[in-house]
Chains A and B, each alone.
Chain A
């Protein structure tokens, strides 16, 4: 089954404790992206990756890191989480056709609480 998986689905942590949220897709998509969803703000792009070893900042990259060592995986790293990073996080992937982004396939989300 074609899908995007994220782990963990729920996480409660404390300020300053490094964490990683994993994202994996089995559709051979070149493009992967991370978003955070907050009430009234919709989905805001954190980082995206056009292919292996190619990443770029979205609109809200501060406090986050990403890496793209393999095509299928795109982990999101919070080196020193703070309470304002409490949010619902989504990973997404898609093909890029002739340099354009197509339909994005979203994972089920990771609800992160930073105390």
Chain B
């Protein structure tokens, strides 16, 4: 079946450094790729998303890139801050309305 692989599972960076999380998807029909941030004790919240007709999208310190040929997409966080510490999930969905999530990346930003 369809799946989304996410790496790394844990990432520790120094405050001010950049963090990169990568995901690979299997369903070539996937056309929507959101990234969610989950803080402790809360539900996931969308931080950025990208559709298949776009290669890159940026929102302040956060950017996402998509390579449809290779079926992978990445989240880039620059100038990390302690409040960026959380679990991040990538996901992929297609016109079937199913959404497949990656296993998550726990990001630690050390002050």
Q: Which residues of A contact B (CB under 8 A)?
A: 4, 31, 33, 35, 40-45, 48, 50, 56, 58-59, 90, 92, 96, 99-104, 106-109
Given A33-B99, A101-B32: A42 in contact with B43 (beta carbons within 8 A): no
Given A40-B103, A103-B49: A48 in contact with B43 (beta carbons within 8 A): no
Contact B99 A106 (CB under 8 A): no
CB under 8 Å from chain A, chain B span 82-111 = 89, 91, 93, 95, 97-104
CB under 8 Å from chain A, chain B span 29-46 = 31-32, 34, 36, 41-46
Please name all residues of chain A whose beta carbon is closer than 8 Å to the beta carbon of B32 when the two chains form the complex.
Answer: 100-102
Which single residue of chain B is at the shortest CB-CB distance from A43? B101
Of the candidates A59, A99, A101, A108, which one forms a contact with B43 in the assembled complex, judged by CB atoms under 8 Å apart?
A: A108
Of the candidates B41, B44, B103, which one forms a contact with A106 in the assembled complex, judged by CB atoms under 8 Å apart?
A: B44
- Main secondary structure on chain A at its contact with chain B? strand
The reply to whether the CB of B24 lies closer than 8 angstroms to some CB of chain A is: no
Contact B97 A41 (CB under 8 A): no
The reply to whether the CB of B74 lies closer than 8 angstroms to some CB of chain A is: no
Count, A-B residue pairs, CB within 8 A: 63
Contact B99 A101 (CB under 8 A): yes
Total B residues in contact with A, Cβ cutoff 8 Å? 26
Contact B34 A108 (CB under 8 A): no
| 20 chain-A/chain-B pairs, Cβ below 8 angstroms | A4-B43, A31-B97, A33-B99, A40-B103, A41-B103, A42-B6, A42-B101, A42-B102, A43-B91, A43-B101, A43-B104, A45-B99, A48-B97, A58-B98, A96-B97, A100-B93, A102-B32, A103-B49, A104-B99, A109-B41
Please name all residues of chain A whose beta carbon is closer than 8 Å to the beta carbon of B98 when the two chains form the complex.
Answer: 45, 48, 58-59
